[in-house]
Amino acid sequence: MVYELAARNESGVTVRLLWDSARNQVVLRYRDERGDLFVTDVPNESALTAYNHPNAYRPRGGAVTAVSGL
């Protein structure tokens, strides 16, 4: 099951912080108005930092992590 921990939408950027209980993992989802999107696992202990600074956790090379149900 996936639970939303936090979400914000400002200046055309949507950031969601999710908890994947099946994997015991925090997931960051980012989308902007240009269509740029990434979904990536973040260290559980860094959840708040990832939420506040999502681009610091952007996957290198533009790769998108596919996580079902997100």
Q: What is the mean pLDDT of residues 5-25?
A: 97
pLDDT band at 62 (very low <50, low <70, confident <90, very high): low
Is-contact 31 11, C-beta < 8 A? Answer: no
State how far the Cα of 4 lies from the Cα of 24, in Å rounded to an integer: 13
Report CA torsion sign: 33, 30, 63, 23: negative
State how far the Cα of 52 lies from the Cα of 42, in Å rounded to an integer: 13
What is the model's pLDDT at position 56? 95
Q: State the pTM of this model.
A: 0.84
The string of pLDDT tens digits covering residues 23-37 is: 999 999 999 999 999
The string of pLDDT tens digits covering residues 44-58 is: 999 999 999 999 999
